[in-house]
Amino acid sequence: VLTAHAQTPPAGERWDVPLDPRDWKLVQHDGNERQSERTYVRHGDNAYFWNERIVSGFRATGANPEDYIAGFVEELMESCRPLKVSALDQDAASILFQWQGDCRIYGPQIEFRRVMLDKGGLHYFAYATKPGRLSDAKKELWLATLRGARLK
């Protein structure tokens, strides 16, 4: 995740999470001032064939995190089966949850996603990897990173 060579967050990134550009590259960025999504993968991977992926996004909406998650899970159910979803942490403005499924385009994966509501809208930050590639130490590191992530 964060290495001894960690840099400042990439330009345009809303989350204050330093990603080392020697490890991660931006492969997709879609959006405008009302919504955006950025996808990062490890060097050597691409947007469709990856072993680890980070997704961050924003929607200018007053919807609460529970409504976002319900819609997100509904979308996942169309292409990821079997699908297992579980909440990990929740407070008044933020939810951290995990999902695992075998998805049509990306194959089997496990993802940890934090969804947060602030005065500017709904923000999310996620880490995904392939099952069998997630050690306990890496899982704990990513969960700590997601829990500690702050908006700029």
Task: Give per-residue pLDDT as tens, 6-22.
Answer: 445 566 788 988 778 78
Residue 41 has pLDDT above 80, yes or no: yes
What's the pLDDT at 6? 43
What is the mean predicted confidence (pLDDT) over 29-51? 92
Looking at residue 148, what is its pLDDT? 92
**The pLDDT of residue 44:** 93
Q: Give the three-class secondary structure for 91.
A: coil
Of all residues in the chain, the percent with pLDDT exceeding 70 is: 93
Q: What is the radius of gyration, based on Cα positions, of the chain?
A: 15
